[in-house]
Amino acid sequence: MKVLVHINDAERWQEALATRLPEAEIFTSAAPADKRREADYLAAWKPPATLLREPVALKGIVNLGAGVDALLNNPGLPANVPIVKLRDAGMAQPIGDYVRYGLLHFQRDFDRYRRQQHARQWREHAPLDKADWPVGVLGLGAIGARVAAMIAADGFPVHGWSRSPKTLPGIHCHHGDAGLEALLGRVKSLVLLLPDTPATRHIIDAEALARLPEGASLINPGRGTLIDEAALLAALGNSAAEGRLRGALLDAFPEEPLPAASPLWSHPRVWVTPHMAGPTPLEAALDQVAEALRAFESGEPLDAVDPTAGY
C-alpha cells in the first residue's frame, strides 16, 4: 500500500510509521506530484484542498487528530472515501489535565487571588469543597468520557451530556435537549468536549448561558464554534468585577489563531490558550494509524467517521 502523509513534522511521522508498516511505501506531501497521485491512503492533519484532490484512486483517509470538522469542510474532500479519525490516542490525559487546571483555578479561587495580588490585598476565601462543585461535561466521546472519569476520580460530581443516551460509571449521564437544560441548571463549571457539527454549533448561546447558575465558569478545550462569542462576552460582562459568568478558560476559537482584534485577548476574566490542550502524541497516534491502515487494506470493518453526523 502507498501512504501519503501530510502534517507538520511529516518526516518524523513518515519514519515512525514505516517502522510499524514495513510492507507499505510511505511518502510525505513533499514527494513529487506523480508519487502523490499514486497514494492509496492519505494520513493527514488539515491537508490543503489541492492535495486532497491529487490521488487518483484514494481508498481511505486517516485524520491525524480527533476532530474531523476541518476535513469534512474541506472543498477538496473526495466523496465516498471512508475516513477514520484518531480516537483519544493519548490526548485525553493532557486534555484532562487542562480541565483539572481550569477547575482548580475557579474552585480554589486563583482568579480572585490574582486580582487581589494586583491590588496588594491579603484576603482568604473559604473554598467550596470539590464535592459541592458539580461539573458538566458536554460530549462523551472517547475524549469526553475519559476526561469525565478523570475529574470524577478527583472528587468532583460530574454530569455528562451526549445527544443520545449513554451510561458511564460514576457519571450522572444526561442526553437530548431536556437533559442539556437540566445539566446546565446545576453545574458550577461547564467543560466543552463536543465535536464541531451543524448540530453543536453555538450550542452555548445566550439561552444556554442564562441557564447556568450565577457565577458559573466555562472551560473549552473542544471547538470554538460551540460558543456564541457575543453571548459569551455579554454573560461575562466587561469589567474585572465578576459578571453572571465568573470566567472562561478557552483553548479553541472559531478562527485560529485568535485574531488580534478579538476582545477575548484582553478580557480580565478570560484566559486564552493557543489550542494546546490536547497535543497528539506521535507514538500512540501511530499505533492507531497503522491499525487503521491495516484494517482498510484487509477490508475489516472500520470504526469510520459518519460524515452526516460529523464525527
Give contact residues for ligand GLV (rule: CB under 6 A).
65-67, 278, 280
Nearer to ligand GLV, 67 or 160 (CB): 67
Q: In what order do the strands lie in the sheet with 270-272?
A: 172-175, 158-162, 135-138, 189-192, 216-220, 245-250, 270-272
Joined grid coordinates for residue 258: 485568535
- From the CB of 193, what's the least distance to ligand GLV, in Å? 11
- Please give the Cα distance from 65 to 223 (Å, whole number): 13
Nearer to ligand GLV, 65 or 144 (CB): 65
User: Rg of the Cα trace of the chain?
Assistant: 21
- From the CB of 130, what's the least distance to ligand GLV, in Å? 28
In DSSP terms, which residues pair with 190 in a beta bridge? 136, 218
Nearer to ligand GLV, 96 or 278 (CB): 278
Q: Which residue has the closest beta carbon to ligand GLV?
A: 65
Catalytically annotated residue among 12, 211, 244, 275? 275
The DSSP symbol for 204 reads: B
Nearer to ligand GLV, 24 or 92 (CB): 92
Q: Among residues 223, 227, 197, which one has the least CA distance to residue 310?
A: 197
Is 172 an annotated catalytic residue? Answer: no
In angstroms, the first-to-last Cα distance of the chain is 26
Is 6 an annotated catalytic residue? Answer: no
Catalytically annotated residue among 105, 159, 163, 223? 223
- Please give the Cα distance from 305 to 66 (Å, whole number): 11
- From the CB of 66, what's the least distance to ligand GLV, in Å? 4
- From the CB of 275, what's the least distance to ligand GLV, in Å? 6
Residues tagged active-site: 223, 275
